[in-house]
Chain A
Amino acid sequence: MPDAERTPGFATLSIHAGAKPDPTTGARVTPIYQTTSFVFDDVDHAAALFGLQTFGNIYTRIGNPTCAVLEERVAALEGGTAGLAVASGHAAQVIVMHALMTPGDELVASKKLYGGSINQFNHSYKNFGWNVVWADPDDLSSFEKAVSPKTKCIFIESIANPGGVITDIEAIAKIARKAGVPLIVDNTLATPYLCKPIEYGADIIVHSLTKFLGGHGNSIGGLIVDGGTFNWSRDKKYPMLSEPRPEYQGIILHETFGNFAFAIACRVLGLRDLGPALSPFNAFLVITGIETLPLRMQRHCDNTLVVAEWLSKRPEVAWVSYPGLPGDKYHKLAKKYSPKGAGAVFTFGLKGGYDAGVKLVSNVKLFSHLANIGDTRSLIIHPASTTHRQLSDAQKVQAGAGPDVVRLSVGLEDPDDIIADLELGLKAK
């Protein structure tokens, strides 16, 4: 039994945090509690559970013991106070915003984000009356200018999709602190192995478990981590946390649950009423994936550096955008925020433009041509002809998906094989 005073290392936590052998059967590995519901002792027990007076499981939409292990695992790895598993990264974002925003409120967001998040903020959030104000992470003053009395949060990605942008988390955290709003960081591409945004002032972390945390391309999932650092009761900005809740006989969530109140609010208000629950089976697969997180992430990064370096010397390649490369614009930020490696996702540009991009993705044999990142398998996509096809050329460039751009998510295959496959694709007629 580890000494009570020692904090276990990252690899130990990746395997053990949140998991204990089952009390009844002794099962060592987390059981898959593939059940919708859980029995009560009696009516009083049921009332206590529904009223949040006791800890326990009621219904898998609200909580499930397999998902709970995953929640504690990721919270522990990020250094947060609590986690909440949901159906997808997109769902994690909606649940977070639902806890923070009311119609007419504003969210300040970095414009260097995954395209799916940009669409969610620009389009779907309008239905809720939540307004996004875009800021440029390369110009910190744009964040200060974007803040208004209506701002309820700031949202950034630590390592940003698709082009390997690194965001200055600490600087933006200071801006958020000054504005009195929480900083939300999507840490999907880095995972806590490479970067722990809470250490730099982030208040809330979101993940797409679908990517590197699950790591094997088999399960869609999302996770919210409460950093436990924000004072929800300082003013009246966040009534979901600081005011008596009519849904729960008037309890005040921040007062009752202290530094994990935000995660509880997301669960008992957002997840309960909006419903994007994670399947216990998906949770099990992600838990299993996380056990090898440190090994996988290091190999991903090491492989990616080799591939990026090789590409940067190819005659067919006009430019490579990977912060691990010494000349890269974000190399210095990468050394600060992600010293073990710059991640596994990056873009490069082909001199042959759009047609060369299409030819490359059509001729690789080892790389999988699909829309995902963060798999053991190496993945490739030409956004201009696929995910971003419907945009104008100008819009494509804005989104980092110009006609010549190819995005790679480098996997765990032998690097020689990865390079040989790219060479095949680049040389194809």
Chain B
Amino acid sequence: MNHDSYPDNYIRGILNTVKTIAMVGISPKENRPSFFAFKYLLERGYHMIPVNPGQAGKSILNQAVYAKLSDIPEPVDMVDIFRASEYVLPVVEEALTLRPTPQVIWMQLTIRNDEAARLAEAAGLKVVMDRCPKIEYGRLSSEISWMGVNSRTLSSRRAQNLGTGVQRMGLGATNKKGDH
């Protein structure tokens, strides 16, 4: 898998398939990028689980915080990692011990660990690195276009409202392959 660039249907397929996302390294501070991404995805219908040992037992945006991935009592579809590249490998190793195993390992902007990626892919997981799911969702739903951002998409199909809330768009794909 080439991790220097991802086709849009790969990303869209992932964001249309996963329902439960565990965010490792989320900050409780409301001005941090991890908090922004958590809130955004929560509002778009994802079941978001915060993971942060320093905040275990508390809650962030009404979601109970767990100390580590293996403490989560329910299946996790995607592990979203907000930790520096050098701390990623242990997180991925722990993710691979979960049952059922998650389907996706996602590493945030500037985070890239090719060794951890290879490990996860060998176990059959999909991997995304150096991307933010909030920005990718924004790009593929066209929400980010409201900010003048180049979504690098092009379509003459109608954009899809999410169905809940004003100014919330959906991803508009009906299949797991991510085709539009």
Contact of B149 among A45, A53, A67, A82 (CB under 8 A): A82
Q: Are B180 and A1 in contact, CB atoms less than 8 angstroms apart?
A: yes
Instruction: Return B30 CB to nearest CB of chain A, in Å.
Output: 7
Q: Are A4 and B39 in contact, CB atoms less than 8 angstroms apart?
A: no
Q: Are B150 and A55 in contact, CB atoms less than 8 angstroms apart?
A: no
Restricting to A1-51, which residues have a CB under 8 Å from any CB of B? 1-2, 4-5, 8, 12-13, 16-18, 20-24, 26, 28, 38-41, 45, 48, 51
Interface string of A105-148 (1 = CB under 8 A from B): 00000000000000000000000000000000000000000000
**B156 to chain A: which residues have CB within 8 Å?**
16, 20-21, 28
Restricting to A72-87, which residues have a CB under 8 Å from any CB of B? 72, 75-76, 80-85
**A20 to chain B: which residues have CB within 8 Å?**
142, 145, 155-159
Q: Are A53 and B146 in contact, CB atoms less than 8 angstroms apart?
A: no
**A250 to chain B: which residues have CB within 8 Å?**
31
Q: Are B150 and A53 in contact, CB atoms less than 8 angstroms apart?
A: no
Knowing A1-B155, A4-B8, A5-B7, the reply to whether A57 touches B165 (Cβ < 8 A) is no
B20 proximal to A (CB < 8 A): no
A165 proximal to B (CB < 8 A): no
**A251 to chain B: which residues have CB within 8 Å?**
31-33
Q: Are B154 and A2 in contact, CB atoms less than 8 angstroms apart?
A: yes
A209 proximal to B (CB < 8 A): no
Q: Are B161 and A23 in contact, CB atoms less than 8 angstroms apart?
A: yes
A310 proximal to B (CB < 8 A): no
Q: Are A260 and B149 in contact, CB atoms less than 8 angstroms apart?
A: yes
Q: Are B157 and A55 in contact, CB atoms less than 8 angstroms apart?
A: no
How far, in angstroms, from A244 to B33 measured CA to CA in the complex?
A: 12
A54 proximal to B (CB < 8 A): yes
A263 proximal to B (CB < 8 A): yes
Restricting to B126-161, which residues have a CB under 8 Å from any CB of A? 132, 135, 138, 142-152, 154-161
**B146 to chain A: which residues have CB within 8 Å?**
55-57, 63, 65, 68
Q: Are B154 and A249 in contact, CB atoms less than 8 angstroms apart?
A: no
Q: Are A48 and B39 in contact, CB atoms less than 8 angstroms apart?
A: yes
**B8 to chain A: which residues have CB within 8 Å?**
4
B43 proximal to A (CB < 8 A): yes
Q: Are B135 and A264 in contact, CB atoms less than 8 angstroms apart?
A: no
Measured CB to CB, the nearest residue on chain B to A248 is B31
Name B's interface SS: loop
A258 proximal to B (CB < 8 A): yes
How far, in angstroms, from A394 to B157 measured CA to CA in the complex?
A: 59
Question: Which of B39, B144, B149, B165 has the largest number of chain A CB atoms within 10 A?
Answer: B149
Contact-size category for A: 35 or more
B9 proximal to A (CB < 8 A): yes
Contact of A256 among B33, B143, B167 (CB under 8 A): B33
Q: Are B149 and A258 in contact, CB atoms less than 8 angstroms apart?
A: no
**B171 to chain A: which residues have CB within 8 Å?**
none
Knowing A1-B155, A13-B154, the reply to whether A53 touches B147 (Cβ < 8 A) is no
Q: Are B154 and A82 in contact, CB atoms less than 8 angstroms apart?
A: no
Restricting to B23-47, which residues have a CB under 8 Å from any CB of A? 30-33, 35-36, 39-40, 43
How far, in angstroms, from A250 to B146 measured CA to CA in the complex?
A: 23
Q: Are B150 and A76 in contact, CB atoms less than 8 angstroms apart?
A: yes
**B160 to chain A: which residues have CB within 8 Å?**
23
**A263 to chain B: which residues have CB within 8 Å?**
147-149
Knowing A23-B161, A26-B158, A55-B138, the reply to whether A18 touches B145 (Cβ < 8 A) is yes
Contact of B165 among A45, A71, A256 (CB under 8 A): A45
B1 proximal to A (CB < 8 A): no
Measured CB to CB, the nearest residue on chain B to A21 is B158
Q: Are B143 and A55 in contact, CB atoms less than 8 angstroms apart?
A: yes
B169 proximal to A (CB < 8 A): yes
Contact of B147 among A2, A8, A38, A82 (CB under 8 A): A82
Measured CB to CB, the nearest residue on chain B to A28 is B156
Q: Are B150 and A80 in contact, CB atoms less than 8 angstroms apart?
A: yes
A61 proximal to B (CB < 8 A): no
Question: Which of B8, B30, B35, B157 has the largest number of chain A CB atoms within 10 A?
Answer: B30
**A264 to chain B: which residues have CB within 8 Å?**
147
How far, in angstroms, from A354 to B133 measured CA to CA in the complex?
A: 63
Knowing A20-B156, A23-B160, A249-B31, the reply to whether A38 touches B148 (Cβ < 8 A) is no
Write 20 A-B pairs (CB below 8 A) sorted by A numbering: A1-B179, A16-B154, A17-B150, A21-B159, A28-B156, A38-B166, A39-B166, A41-B165, A48-B43, A54-B40, A55-B144, A56-B166, A63-B146, A67-B148, A72-B151, A76-B150, A81-B150, A83-B150, A84-B148, A251-B32
List 6 A-B pairs, minimum CB-CB distance, nearest first: A71-B148, A56-B167, A75-B150, A55-B143, A4-B7, A82-B149
With contacts A20-B155, A68-B147 known, what are 12 further pairs, Cβ within 8 A?
Answer: A16-B156, A24-B161, A38-B166, A45-B165, A53-B35, A54-B43, A55-B143, A55-B146, A57-B167, A69-B145, A72-B149, A83-B148
